[in-house]
Chain A
Amino acid sequence: MRHWTLTYSSQTQALLWLPMILLALVLALIGVHVFDPKARRWTWKALAVIGVGMAVGQPFLALSWVPPEKYMGDTGRILYVHVPQVWMALIALTLNFGASLAFLLKKSWVSDALAEASAEVGVLFGAVGVTLGALWAKPTWGAYWTWDARLTTAAILLVVYSGYLALRKFIEDPEKRATWSAVVGIFAAVDIPVLWFSVKWWRSMHQTQSNPSTVDPLMTAVLRYSATAFLALLAVFIYQRFLVASAKRNEEVALPEALPAVGGTP
């Protein structure tokens, strides 16, 4: 049987800073990617290597290296995926808000493509995060789902942004699509701060946000590591999805005004 200890060796203590260094590295790469278009040929590849590399090590750290939770046991390990996945969803959807606003202020297919990419990736991470939350809730709370403020706002988030993606598919004219989805993107973003503060504003089943004083340092380190890994993957996903959306936009906008008659082959 393995024995857990609350006193760490100095080597372990030094290791606890590693996730923050990796996070700084990932943030720096994202910064270079955003501000230096010429670097984009390699920054996303570097992020992909870091993201995949860290994701491979993540199950080892989260399922084996870090101690189980005192009361929840191994079930508590869902923390290291559920929480970062939802964080990434919120980051992506906040980016969607920024891109939506940017499009309305200054028409650009870049911000429209970015809005499309961030919404889709945000819904992916959000759906995974909420599913993991439900799986975690069953053994700890005793129920997969309950309509408290946090879970309700999370459900609203997924429904609204799925609707946003459906709207994008539904409108064929690129310009109308970009404008109206930008408006919807701004309205939908109201739910992001409401979801975040729901556990503070209302009584809920879901616990309030943890912070390093309520989480053991080893667990905090693994949580930060996991978040960094997912952040790198999030950046790669959004960028790749952005390239797909941009290519599609270029095709659409390059189309001649008068479409060929029915039956015409492209």
Chain B
Amino acid sequence: MNFPSPILAADYVGHVVGGWEYVQGAYGLTLVALLAYGAYLFNARKDRS
């Protein structure tokens, strides 16, 4: 594919932020946050009932 700038390639080879593992990390973070809050609510409900 004819891409106008070689800089993109340089950056890709150089230092990559982003990409597959990075995205999985972001999803993992969301999951942890929601699970943690769910667990906190579960405990709080148990204490109050």
Residues of A within 8 Å of B38, CB to CB, are: 237
Residues of B within 8 Å of A241, CB to CB, are: 41, 44
Give the interface segment out of A17-25, A33-41, A94-102, A136-144.
A136-144
Query: What separation, in Å, do the CA atoms of A124 and B41 have in the docked complex?
Result: 13
Query: What separation, in Å, do the CA atoms of A1 and B45 have in the docked complex?
Result: 49
Main secondary structure of the interface of A (DSSP, over half): helix
The answer to whether B13 has its CB under 8 Å from any CB of chain A is no
Query: What separation, in Å, do the CA atoms of A244 and B44 have in the docked complex?
Result: 7
For A117, the closest partner residue in chain B by CB is B41
Residues of B within 8 Å of A244, CB to CB, are: 41, 44-45, 48
The answer to whether B17 has its CB under 8 Å from any CB of chain A is yes
The answer to whether A111 has its CB under 8 Å from any CB of chain B is no
Whether B30 contacts A85 by the Cβ 8 Å rule is yes
Query: With A74-B20, A75-B18, A75-B19 known to touch, is A240 a contact of B41 (CB < 8 Å)?
Result: yes
For A247, the closest partner residue in chain B by CB is B48
Whether A136 contacts B26 by the Cβ 8 Å rule is yes
Whether A131 contacts B34 by the Cβ 8 Å rule is no
Please give the distance in Å from A141's CB to the nearest CB on chain B: 11
The answer to whether A199 has its CB under 8 Å from any CB of chain B is no
Query: With A63-B23, A74-B20, A75-B19 known to touch, is A128 a contact of B29 (CB < 8 Å)?
Result: yes
Query: What separation, in Å, do the CA atoms of A140 and B48 have in the docked complex?
Result: 46
Residues of B within 8 Å of A138, CB to CB, are: 17-18
Option from A73, A81, A139, A243 in Cβ contact (under 8 Å) with B30: A81
Residues of B within 8 Å of A121, CB to CB, are: 37
Query: Most chain-A CB neighbours within 10 Å: which of B16, B29, B37, B49?
Result: B37
For B20, the closest partner residue in chain A by CB is A74
Please give the distance in Å from A6's CB to the nearest CB on chain B: 16
Whether A128 contacts B30 by the Cβ 8 Å rule is yes
Q: Residue-by-residue, is B19-49 near A (CB-CB < 8 Å gives 1, otherwise 0)?
A: 1101111110110011001100100110011
Please give the distance in Å from A121's CB to the nearest CB on chain B: 8
Whether A73 contacts B26 by the Cβ 8 Å rule is no
The answer to whether A59 has its CB under 8 Å from any CB of chain B is yes
9 residue pairs bridging A and B, Cβ less than 8 Å apart: A63-B23, A81-B30, A124-B37, A135-B29, A139-B19, A233-B34, A237-B37, A243-B48, A244-B45
The 10 closest A-B pairs by CB, nearest first: A139-B18, A75-B18, A247-B48, A139-B17, A244-B44, A240-B41, A128-B33, A74-B20, A135-B26, A81-B30
